[in-house]
C-alpha cells in the first residue's frame, strides 16, 4: 500500500471535483494549497506515476459517449485463465475481474456503439465457447462526488 504525505492527502481530498476551467488551472490549485504551480504539477505527476491517481480530468457519465455493459460469465475453474486471456485481448474490455461464485468472470466492455459492443461479445463467445451474460445498467444512482481518504 502506498503512503501519502499530508500535502498529497490534501490535494486528493480537495481536488476530486471543481478542477478549474481556466487558462492555468494548476496555478489555481497551487494558490489553494499554498505551494507553487510547478510543485502542484510535480505532485500530480508523482501521484500518477505511483498509480495513486489514474488521471486528472473528467469523469464522464456512462453510456454517453460509448455503449457499455457489465458482462458476467460462468467458466469452468480450470479454463478460467484461458478465457480471461481471450477477454483481456479485446482492447475495449476495460475492467476484467475474477470473482468468487458461479459467475466467476466479470468485465466491462465499452464500444463506440451498441452494434460494435455486440460484435465484441459475439467474438468472445465464439473464441471461448462460453456464453456471455449481459447486465447493462438501466439506471445509475451514485452521486459521484469523489472519495475521501
Partner 1 sequence: MTQMKKRSNRIDATDRLIITATQHGLPLLARPYDEIARQTGLSAQLVKQRMSAMLENGIIRRMGAVPNHYRLGYRANGMSVWDMEEARIDDIGGLVGGLYFVSHCYQRPRCLPLWPYNFFAMVHARSKREVEAKVARIAHLVGEASRSHTILYSSKILKKTGIRLKERREETCSD
Q: Which is nearer to partner 1, 74 or 122 (CB)?
A: 74
φ/ψ of residue 107, rounded to 5? -155, 165
Question: Between the CA of residue 17 and those of 27, 57, 147, 148, what are the distances in Å?
Answer: 16, 9, 10, 12
What does the alpha-carbon distance between residue 73 and residue 60 come to, in Å, rounded to a whole number? Answer: 27
Q: Which is nearer to partner 1, 114 or 136 (CB)?
A: 136
What does the alpha-carbon distance between residue 39 and residue 131 come to, in Å, rounded to a whole number? Answer: 50
Count CB neighbours of 141 within 10 A: 5
Q: Which is nearer to partner 1, 34 or 141 (CB)?
A: 141
Q: How far is the CB of 52 from partner 1 (least distance, A)?
A: 5
Q: Which is nearer to partner 1, 5 or 64 (CB)?
A: 64
Q: How far is the CB of 90 from partner 1 (least distance, A)?
A: 9
Q: How far is the CB of 16 from partner 1 (least distance, A)?
A: 4
Count CB neighbours of 76 within 10 A: 10
Q: How far is the CB of 126 from partner 1 (least distance, A)?
A: 18
Amino acid at each position: 500500500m502506498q503512503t501519502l504525505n499530508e500535502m498529497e492527502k490534501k490535494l486528493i481530498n480537495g481536488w476530486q471535483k471543481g478542477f478549474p476551467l481556466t487558462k492555468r488551472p494548476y496555478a489555481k490549485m497551487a494558490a489553494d494549497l499554498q505551494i507553487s504551480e510547478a510543485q502542484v504539477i510535480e505532485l500530480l505527476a508523482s501521484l500518477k506515476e505511483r498509480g495513486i491517481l489514474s488521471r486528472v480530468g473528467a469523469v464522464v457519465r456512462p453510456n454517453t459517449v460509448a455503449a457499455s455493459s457489465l458482462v458476467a460469465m460462468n467458466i469452468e475453474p480450470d479454463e478460467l485463465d484461458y478465457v480471461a486471456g481471450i477477454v483481456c485481448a479485446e482492447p475495449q474490455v476495460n475492467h476484467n475481474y475474477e470473482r468468487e461464485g458461479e459467475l466467476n468472470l466479470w468485465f466491462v466492455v465499452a464500444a463506440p456503439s451498441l452494434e460494435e459492443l455486440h460484435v465484441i461479445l459475439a467474438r468472445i463467445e465464439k473464441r471461448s465457447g462460453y456464453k456471455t451474460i449481459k447486465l447493462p445498467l438501466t439506471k445509475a444512482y451514485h452521486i459521484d462526488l469523489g472519495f475521501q481518504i
